[in-house]
Amino acid sequence: MIASETSHTVPVTVLTGYLGAGKTTLLNHILTYQHGKKVAVIVNEFGEVGIDNQLVIDADEEIFEMNNGCICCTVRGDLIRIIGNLMKRRDKFDHLVIETTGLADPAPVIQTFFVDEDMQEQLSLDAVVTVVDAKHIWQHWEADEAQEQIAFADVILLNKIDLVTPEIVDELENRIRGMNAIAKIYRTRNSELEIDALLGVKAFDLDRALEIDPHFLGEDAHEHDDSVYSVALVSEGELNGDKLTDWITELLRTQGTDIFRMKGILNIAGQDERFVFQGVHMIFDGRPDRPWKDNETRKNELVFIGRNLDEAQLTKDFADCII
């Protein structure tokens, strides 16, 4: 995405997590925190969020302002419709947060930002933030919803760490790392986290993941026992754009249900900009990013997160796209 366009798009944070993990507490922090951002929040049912009445102005309609400058709205119907209504007040907010209460799988919400053309022009997915209950996640570990929420995350809050031993938190973090090598993981109590770690993180940028863990793309980054895991492909050289598109299209057609997320920064032949690529299940989106810097190695980094991933086959097919 070209920088001049980026400044006009609204960054979107999708907030997810298993029941009782601490999403509502986190949402209240975002709404009441004096962070200087004007945040619009979409929640499924306003009644579930224990926002102090003093904060709410005019709560009769779907979209209402709060006296700290935030806008809040409830989704009882169609997400695209309510975002359309919200965008009529574009001057009132800098950032949009969508809480997926009751939506087990965050994929349909994330896909909205890839599929709808109006959405793509006006909004950019900043991050998927997942709250994990460090004490109770073990009871739900095998549930598809819990694993999908972790797999889709860009930022993970390991919450309620005060209720378990440090050893349990370490084990949980290791297991999550095996499932999702690129998420940033924070250990929290009462969902308390600096707002800069939540909003405006531009989480599709692999550079940031590498800053946190330079080894995550290494050979041992994805050894695991669980059904959901990451596969990272790294190579130098230029990619044939047409071959890449054909391969990804076929891959998603045949295995899309098993591929939760894809992310990549790629070096496409004939292009001076990095190509940023991300996908959710069978839908993907790619666009030019900033120009490659003179002193940086032009390499390709592509990460898959999902189930039943054949690392050897993915590696071979990716290599076939290199000129």
- 266-289 pLDDT, tens digit per residue, is 999 999 999 988 888 888 878 888
What pLDDT digit, counting tens, does each position of 3-26 carry? 333 457 889 998 888 777 888 788
What pLDDT does 129 receive?
92
What pLDDT does 58 receive?
47
The residue with tokens 């889709």 is 152
Per-residue pLDDT of the chain (323 residues; tens, 9 = 90+): 223 334 578 899 988 887 778 887 888 788 777 667 788 888 765 454 545 444 444 444 555 555 555 566 555 557 777 788 888 888 888 888 888 765 556 777 777 777 777 777 888 888 989 999 999 888 877 777 788 888 888 899 999 999 999 999 999 999 898 888 888 899 999 989 888 888 888 875 555 555 545 454 554 444 444 688 888 888 889 999 999 999 998 998 898 888 888 888 899 999 999 998 888 888 887 888 889 988 888 888 888 888 888 989 999 999 999 99
CB 130 within 8 A of CB 18: no
How far apart, in whole angstroms, are the C-alpha atoms of residue 280 and residue 107? Answer: 7
CB 148 within 8 A of CB 34: no
What pLDDT does 44 receive?
61
CB 314 within 8 A of CB 233: yes
User: Going from the N-terminus, what domains does the chain have, and what CATH number goes with each?
Assistant: 3-203 (3.40.50.300), 221-320 (3.30.1220.10)
Torsion angle (degrees, nearest 10) of CA 216, 220, 222, 227 = -160
Six-digit token string for 48: 């579930």
What pLDDT does 74 receive?
57
What pLDDT does 86 receive?
83
Strands (E), the chain: 10-17, 39-43, 63-65, 71-74, 95-99, 123-133, 155-159, 184-187, 229-236, 259-266, 273-280, 283-291, 299-306
How far apart, in whole angstroms, are the C-alpha atoms of residue 153 and residue 175? Answer: 14
What pLDDT does 90 receive?
84
